[in-house]
Homo-oligomer: A and B are copies of this chain.
Amino acid sequence: TKRVLVTGGAGFIGSHLIDILMQNGNDVICADSYFSGSKENVAKWIGHPKFELMRHDVTQPLLVEVDQIYHLACPASPVHYQHNAIKTLKTNVLGTLNVLGLAKRTGARLLLSSTSEVYGDPEVHPQVEEYNGNVNCVGRRSCYDEGKRCAEALCMDYHRQHHVDIRIARIFNTYGPRMFFHDGRVVSNFIVQALRGESLPIYGDGLQTRSFCYVEDLARGLLLLMNCDYIGPINIGNPVEFTIKELAEKVRAKVNPKLKIEYRQMPKDDPKRRQPEITKARKILGWEPRVHLDEGLQRTVDDFKSRAQANP
């Protein structure tokens, strides 16, 4: 067992990761500013002697003594990260600088949760780790995309210059229980609208694709990466592609087949396609996703239903 810091641990992915880390008997510190996360996500561990909750903004220095750092702090949905673009860039850059300083001082191993958005609107399918990406560095998404690219660059430089022990995971679209209702992302939008009996909003023609990874699969992948010898960057995601329209139809079928679909304008710089090439994850981590979209969507719908009933 280890002393583990999870920044952004009160968020969607972080809280699932903390569940596994706690179940494995580790000492866990969750550092979060609650900008897009919530204490409810880790409520079951509050009071546990091996769990500590810290209100902390990663743009500020942090002094703790740990063996491993999962650096997840960063709003992940466009609605959240565009709300205050400068803050998003600061979180990515200053936040990553601070945890790298921490890792350098303590000798801790640091895993950066990067993103498929470093590939931007990709012109290579599926995306291999060697692909340099197609990111508009002055667009509205750049606070996130460039922020993460810069965070990766910082990690590599601390690794080369100070031998900081790093891991870089490029996470693709993830979904599952504890996604926020109003997080603005496609899975949560569709389920929330469906449960309300309202029509499902598709941006553009709905033929853009995404590949959706169930959150427990993803968290398992991050653990494997942290505890292996490969520094990355490595893609972690589900390679099975669906169009946004197919996703809408699946949600409709599960919740209420009578729902309508409503077509809206496509946001700017919205990638048309995204699919991870996961050969590296398969070979190096021995990882691949296990939960099919039908199964995962069902669990997510059930979770949204029970949360909607608890907080009507």
Contacts and interface: CB of A to CB of B under 8 A. Distances in A.
Contacts of A157: 85-86, 89, 142-143
Given A137-B149, A150-B147, A84 B156 contact: no
A118 B84 CA distance: 24
Nearest to A136: B132
A158 interface: yes
A158 B86 contact: yes
A311 interface: no
A120 B118 CA distance: 15
A150 B149 CA distance: 8
Chain A contact surface mostly = helix
Nearest to A132: B134
Contacts of A291: none
A265 B142 CA distance: 35
B143 A132 contact: no
A30 interface: no
A113 to B, nearest CB: 15
A179 B102 CA distance: 38
Nearest to A93: B93
Contacts of A140: 160
In the complex, the count of this chain's copies comes to 2
A153 B161 contact: no
Residue of A132, A136, A233 ringed by the most chain B CB atoms within 10 A: A132
B161 A137 contact: no
A32 interface: no
A142 B140 CA distance: 22
Given A86-B158, A146-B153, A149-B149, A120 B138 contact: no
Interface string A127-167: 00000111111111011001101101110111011100000
A58 to B, nearest CB: 15
A152 B138 contact: yes
Interface string A75-102: 0000000001110011001000100000
A87 to B, nearest CB: 9
Interface in A144-194: 146-147, 149-150, 152-154, 156-158, 160-162, 168
Contact of A137 (B133, B136, B162): B133
26 contacts: A84-B161, A85-B157, A85-B160, A85-B161, A86-B154, A89-B150, A89-B153, A89-B154, A93-B93, A93-B150, A118-B137, A120-B132, A132-B133, A132-B134, A132-B136, A135-B149, A137-B149, A137-B150, A137-B152, A138-B152, A139-B156, A140-B160, A146-B146, A146-B150, A146-B152, A147-B153
Interface of A: 84-86, 89-90, 93, 97, 118, 120, 132-140, 142-143, 146-147, 149-150, 152-154, 156-158, 160-162, 168, 233
